[in-house]
Chain A
Amino acid sequence: MSEPARIVCGPGRVPAPVGRWRNTKTIRLRIGSGRRDVHLRLDRLTDSLAASAAAVCVDLLELASYVYAADQALARGGTRQFDYGDRWRRTLRFEVPVRRLEVWNRPDVTATLSECLRELTDDLAVEFHFRSGGSLPSLRQYLFDGVPAAAHHDFEEVIPFSGGVDSLGGAVQEVLLGQRKVLLVGHRSVSKVATRQADLASAVVDAADRGKRPLYVPFDVNKGKALGREFTQRSRSFLFASVSAVVARQFGLNRVRFFENGVTSLNLPISPQMIGGRAGRRTRASCAVLRSSSA
């Protein structure tokens, strides 16, 4: 059985652990630019959009970034020995400072979050403990490379755009065939993927009719080198769904379209050794995030 881990997020002093978490391994995560930090950066939003971001949206962005980084900071066992999933399935407790404590402490919100992440990551348990964050930064602090406000109008929906064949196919279908003006929200986890993703987004923009050109909204969320212990990134679609939901909310849109291939959506294993969440369960969990964020 893997050792339970307590993940203390955000600035300030580490709160004293309580109950059964007293003697467990503790990981500290902060958003910043150092080797042990979680890196968060958004591009292509206007200053005014960022300034008007609801506090709960900024909370969600930070929360998704912490979850994504912690998922990679805690190893899930090797690929050599047979431990029948003991180390693959972890028990995690996130302690996160938030701006809207009354929202995050709602039982339906914490239950949906825990269930969604447990399903997505295949961990045994994912708990959340929220605390009041005091003076946390606004979305503007994470905004770089803003664009003029004139660029933002008439969008119909958001498409999470990794640059893989599923989301690229979806972008082509929506923009070129469906003639919809969309926002392509792209996660850049590493720089070598960023260039390819930007090239593909540009190709879609160039091929679109003049009035239907999509806006590519890339964001960077990754962890400092010292935090990298696990590469499976089961929680990446939670991050994608969360950022897409926030972008949709900022643009006043109520539709995010996730394009996935059917094999992944149905969680069909590609090999008998791929048991449970190792084959990926992103579609169901993504739906849960988007449903909750629209509520």
Chain B
Amino acid sequence: MGHKRLGTLPDTARWRQLVATVADGADVAAVAATTTEAAAAGLDRAQRDPGIAEPFFLLTQVVLAARQPDFAEALRDAGLPVGDAPDVYELSGGFTEAADDRLRRTGRTDLGEMAQHAATEALTALLRAKSANLYETTPEEVRRAARDLSTQAGFATLAHEYLSCFTRRFLTYHLGRELGLHVGGNGVFDDPGAHDAFVDRLGVHCREAASIARSYGGEWYSKQNFQGGIDRPKARRLVTHCLKKLRTELLIRGARDV
């Protein structure tokens, strides 16, 4: 019920450049760089959007909760509505609800939604990977997996995953208006499979680009915990810094491969 609407790219020189880049069959690095340039205002805005830093702050609270004697209670203190023995899905659901609740108060934007999904995706993927076994995953295994992410190296992995997911979502949010128009006929993608393969390569590219924030994120986490703990303003400063680095990295990688 109701109608869905799909957008088209703005008719400006930068976005026309992106259309031409895609139509020319350029590789993912060039497409990612051109999108980053065209969507510069969006990235600037993301650095100021409280909805970007909030899910990241929540990630820090989840992994720190795993260091407490009562994991579930600590999660509830952090705002996640979970039972006494949460599994991966309950924890992910609780994380989404907590992020939703905060976004409602700070003001919801598309950028905040992307960040929320990126954080949930990163957390779920890493917890599932770390707690997976041949049998059913127990709540204790989930807690152990979350605790693994609470070390400097573990948090570096989580921060990297979050930024990589956010970057992919940010780029495809814009590219989604154009890529589908190049499938079939004289388009650069012969079929939907070729389109999907391109999006997959874009995801790999985002992961590689986001790796610049990996060790920095881990060191930041360790330092902040040592110096009195993590709060929202600190988390926001880190995310702002990482987004600036990411933007530069995407542009450099694009220029290198063109």
**15 further contact pairs, Cβ within 8 A, besides A162-B1, A273-B172, A280-B2:** A78-B7, A80-B10, A85-B108, A85-B110, A231-B3, A237-B1, A270-B4, A272-B175, A273-B6, A273-B176, A275-B110, A275-B113, A275-B114, A279-B4, A280-B1
- Does A273 contact B113, Cβ atoms closer than 8 Å? no
Within 8 A of A (CB), among B138-174: 169, 172-174
Looking at A236, A271, A279, which has the most chain B CB atoms within 10 Å of its CB? Answer: A271
Within the complex, the shortest CB–CB distance from A133 to chain B, in Å, comes to: 28
- Does A79 contact B1, Cβ atoms closer than 8 Å? no
Cα distance A275–B4 when bound, in Å? 11
B251 at the interface (CB under 8 A from A): no
Within 8 A of A (CB), among B221-255: none
Contact with A along B188-213 (1 / 0, CB 8 A): 00000000000000000000000000
Within the complex, the shortest CB–CB distance from A222 to chain B, in Å, comes to: 14
A234 at the interface (CB under 8 A from B): yes
- B residues near A (Cβ < 8 Å) are 1-11, 39, 41-42, 45, 107-111, 113-114, 169, 172-177, 180
Looking at B4, B6, B9, B172, which has the most chain A CB atoms within 10 Å of its CB? Answer: B4
- Does A280 contact B110, Cβ atoms closer than 8 Å? no
- Considering the complex, give the chain A residue whose CB is closest to the CB of B15: A82
- Considering the complex, give the chain B residue whose CB is closest to the CB of A282: B1
Majority DSSP secondary structure for residues of B touching A? loop
Cα distance A118–B59 when bound, in Å? 26
Instruction: Given A271-B176, A276-B113, decide whether A124 and B108 contact each other with a Cβ distance below 8 A.
Output: yes
A108 at the interface (CB under 8 A from B): no
- Does B8 contact A275, Cβ atoms closer than 8 Å? no
**B108 contact set on A, CB distance < 8 A:** 85, 89, 124, 276
- Does B110 contact A84, Cβ atoms closer than 8 Å? yes
Within the complex, the shortest CB–CB distance from A164 to chain B, in Å, comes to: 8
- Does A79 contact B2, Cβ atoms closer than 8 Å? no
Instruction: Given A80-B10, A124-B107, A273-B177, decide whether A234 and B2 contact each other with a Cβ distance below 8 A.
Output: yes
- Considering the complex, give the chain A residue whose CB is closest to the CB of B41: A82
Cα distance A17–B45 when bound, in Å? 34
Instruction: Please pick, from B6, B111, B114, the residue contacting A79 in the complex, using a CB distance under 8 A.
Output: B6
Within the complex, the shortest CB–CB distance from A127 to chain B, in Å, comes to: 14
**A162 contact set on B, CB distance < 8 A:** 1
Cα distance A52–B173 when bound, in Å? 51
Cα distance A282–B108 when bound, in Å? 19
Within the complex, the shortest CB–CB distance from B172 to chain A, in Å, comes to: 4
Cα distance A280–B177 when bound, in Å? 18
- Does A275 contact B173, Cβ atoms closer than 8 Å? yes
What are 9 contact pairs spanning A and B, CB under 8 A? Answer: A89-B108, A164-B1, A232-B3, A232-B4, A240-B1, A274-B176, A275-B173, A276-B110, A278-B5
A254 at the interface (CB under 8 A from B): no
- Considering the complex, give the chain B residue whose CB is closest to the CB of A160: B1
- Considering the complex, give the chain B residue whose CB is closest to the CB of A264: B1
Nearest 7 CB-CB pairings of A with B: A272-B172, A273-B176, A85-B110, A79-B7, A233-B2, A272-B176, A84-B110
A81 at the interface (CB under 8 A from B): yes
Within 8 A of B (CB), among A99-153: 124
Within the complex, the shortest CB–CB distance from B247 to chain A, in Å, comes to: 16
Within the complex, the shortest CB–CB distance from A293 to chain B, in Å, comes to: 18
**B8 contact set on A, CB distance < 8 A:** 79-80
Cα distance A82–B45 when bound, in Å? 11
Instruction: Please pick, from A82, A164, A236, A270, the residue contacting B174 in the complex, using a CB distance under 8 A.
Output: A82
**A270 contact set on B, CB distance < 8 A:** 4
- Considering the complex, give the chain A residue whose CB is closest to the CB of B117: A275
Within the complex, the shortest CB–CB distance from A257 to chain B, in Å, comes to: 15
Cα distance A85–B108 when bound, in Å? 8
Within the complex, the shortest CB–CB distance from A207 to chain B, in Å, comes to: 25
- Considering the complex, give the chain B residue whose CB is closest to the CB of A1: B107
Cα distance A271–B179 when bound, in Å? 11
A86 at the interface (CB under 8 A from B): yes
- Considering the complex, give the chain A residue whose CB is closest to the CB of B49: A84
**B39 contact set on A, CB distance < 8 A:** 82
**B9 contact set on A, CB distance < 8 A:** 80
Within the complex, the shortest CB–CB distance from B41 to chain A, in Å, comes to: 8
**A234 contact set on B, CB distance < 8 A:** 2
